[in-house]
């Protein structure tokens, strides 16, 4: 429930009321107990309160400015001797004002929007439904930051790999920033993989524009391209869309890939160090399809295909050596 749109208006309304009530009387033990009970009723209450608190914190720099809607909400503070019912009616009015302000400013359709981060650990995958109907699928060990507002939809791929199914909207362009590359959607399903020295893009449907430093390329369905850290476009590592996106089915497919590259890919999915001391072995070529969750199965299959042996050094270290070596 990370996205602001996943919280019901009722829960958000109550959270705003609680925020105002606690700020008005921070030392009131009875209010604190009632607040704790409200949080315990439903996990959505905790999420709603975190979002409302984040909105309030974001507004802190604006408190020295002429911020009419915020000032109007603050006028709803109840008098010290007001009855409990009267206080809650007043808090409800303030909540209505701030709820409108929050949606107009902080929602994914608002002027500023609130950014949200999503991430996966090694071996995990996650599908995120975005507020505009688009879908984001995160591969292993991936982190993204999503920032939607009234004028644009931006996603920053901080690390890892993600697959995007984008609902096209001429009024709000959708773009992905990965390092020094920006990928602009033109009604598309596409994959973006941020590697150590490049960003690779594979288009499954539609069209995207890849924009580097002073140069851009357009990719259509079935095409792939990479953009290096040296700010040059280079061929992608794979030449097949199904291979590039096989991770979505929990697979890794290699067609003549160097063993060193294969081990680096396998290492993305498991908390283990895989070492290859002999540089000659690094140039061996691997062909095959492997399940990402089966570490031993992958390594044993590679050892069957190539003249190498697999040795475990503790729980988190594996060494690959030439077969027959002692």
Per-residue pLDDT of 157-188, as tens digits, reads 999 999 999 998 888 899 999 999 999 998 78
3-state percent breakdown (helix, strand, coil) of the chain, nearest 5:
35, 30, 35
Task: Round to whole Å and give the CA distance between 145 and 42.
Answer: 27
Mean model confidence pLDDT for the chain: 84
Per-residue pLDDT band at 114 (split at 50, 70, 90): low
Whole-model pTM: value is 0.69
Q: Does domain 250-322 sit in CATH 3.55.50.30?
A: yes
Task: Round to whole Å and give the CA distance between 137 and 111.
Answer: 26
Task: Round to whole Å and give the CA distance between 303 and 308.
Answer: 5
- Domain locations in the chain? 4-106, 116-238, 250-322
Q: What percentage of the chain has pLDDT greater than the value 70?
A: 79
Fold of domain 116-238 = Jelly Rolls (2.60.120)
Say which residue, 92 or 132, is predicted with more confidence.
132
> Which token pair is 159?
């690390």
Mean pLDDT of 34-54: 88
Q: Is the pLDDT of residue 3 over 50?
A: no
For residue 88, what pLDDT is reported?
56
Q: Are strands 317-322 and 198-205 parallel, antiparallel or unpaired?
A: unpaired
Per-residue pLDDT of 22-31, as tens digits, reads 877 788 888 8
């Amino acid at each position: 429930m990370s996205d602001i749109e996943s919280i019901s208006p009722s829960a958000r309304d109550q959270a705003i009321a609680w925020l105002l009530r606690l700020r008005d009387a921070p030392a009131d033990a009875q209010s604190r107990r009632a607040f704790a009970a409200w949080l315990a009723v439903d996990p959505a209450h905790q999420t709603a309160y975190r979002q409302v608190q984040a909105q309030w914190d974001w507004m802190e720099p604006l408190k020295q400015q002429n911020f009419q809607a915020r000032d109007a909400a603050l006028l709803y503070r109840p008098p010290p001797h007001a009855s409990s019912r009267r206080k809650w009616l007043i808090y409800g009015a303030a909540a209505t004002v701030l709820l409108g302000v929050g949606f107009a400013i902080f929602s994914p359709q608002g002027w500023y929007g609130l950014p949200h981060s999503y991430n996966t650990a090694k071996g995990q995958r996650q599908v995120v439904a975005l507020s505009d109907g688009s879908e984001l699928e995160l591969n292993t060990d991936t982190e993204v930051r999503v920032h939607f507002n009234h004028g644009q939809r931006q996603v920053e791929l901080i690390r890892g790999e993600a697959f995007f199914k984008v609902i096209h909207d001429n009024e709000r362009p959708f773009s992905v920033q990965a390092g020094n590359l920006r990928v602009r959607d033109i009604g598309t399903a596409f994959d973006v993989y941020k590697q150590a020295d490049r960003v690779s893009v594979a288009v499954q449907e539609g069209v995207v524009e890849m924009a580097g430093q002073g140069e851009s390329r357009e990719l259509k369905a079935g095409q792939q391209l990479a953009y290096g850290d040296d700010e040059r476009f280079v061929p992608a590592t794979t030449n097949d869309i199904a291979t590039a996106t096989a991770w979505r089915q929990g697979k890794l497919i290699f067609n003549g890939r160097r063993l060193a590259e294969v081990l680096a890919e396998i290492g993305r999915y498991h908390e283990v160090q895989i070492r290859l001391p002999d540089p000659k072995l690094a140039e061996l070529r691997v062909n095959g399809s492997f399940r990402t969750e089966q570490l031993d199965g992958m390594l044993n299959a590679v050892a069957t295909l190539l003249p190498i042996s697999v040795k475990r050094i503790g729980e988190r270290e594996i060494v690959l050596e030439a077969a027959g070596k002692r």
